[in-house]
């Protein structure tokens, strides 16, 4: 359980293990239910196109208590692959992304921030964590530099 009281659904852990062990998915996007009580899967895909994944994060929405819809935070894991510049071959790192756009509402951002550790503790095998607040933070080249520590070719 997280600081916010939100629990992680078992389907999140199962899907993460499918991504990690059997490579069934390339990425998984997680969200909080509208009542903020549980973290669930919003999308899980084998699509290797980074831009499709990025667009899904950017277009994510959340409902306020009044029913209004606004930009919303999300969590995601992405099995990021890259080649080393030294020619030593390909590498992959499972990357946890905490997406919390600057223009999202204050309440959703607070709830997501206080729920993040509960999800991360449930996902054993995450190699890199990335906090993203702006679409530029999730540009492929920006993430590549962080994930590869500048060693990608």
Look at residues 48, 49, 44, 52 and name the one whose alpha carbon lies nearest to residue 28.
44
* Residue pair 99/130 in contact by the 8 Å Cβ criterion: no
Quick: pLDDT tens for 11-60.
999 999 999 999 999 999 999 998 999 999 999 999 999 999 999 999 99
Quick: pLDDT tens for 83-107.
998 888 999 999 999 999 999 999 9
Q: Distance between CA 115 and CA 93 in Å, rounded? A: 23
Q: Distance between CA 149 and CA 72 in Å, rounded? A: 29
Other beta carbons less than 10 A from residue 21's beta carbon: 9
How does 81-112 read in b/e, with b if 16+ C-beta sit within 10 Å?
ebeeeeeeeeeebbbbbbbbbeebbeebbebb
Residue with tokens 């993040």: 116
């Amino acid at each position: 359980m997280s600081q916010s009281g939100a629990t992680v659904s078992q389907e999140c852990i199962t899907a993460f293990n499918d991504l990690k062990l059997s490579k069934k998915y390339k990425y998984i996007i997680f969200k909080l239910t509208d009542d903020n009580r549980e973290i669930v899967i919003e999308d899980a895909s084998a699509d290797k196109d980074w831009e499709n994944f990025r667009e899904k994060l950017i277009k994510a929405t959340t409902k306020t208590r009044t029913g209004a819809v606004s930009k919303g935070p999300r969590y995601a894991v992405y099995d990021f692959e890259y080649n080393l510049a030294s020619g030593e071959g390909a590498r992959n790192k499972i990357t946890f992304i905490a997406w919390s756009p600057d223009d999202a509402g204050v309440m959703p951002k607070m709830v997501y921030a206080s729920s993040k550790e509960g999800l991360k503790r449930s996902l054993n095998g995450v190699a890199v964590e990335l906090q993203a607040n702006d679409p530029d933070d999730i540009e492929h080249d920006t993430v590549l530099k962080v994930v590869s520590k500048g060693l990608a070719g």
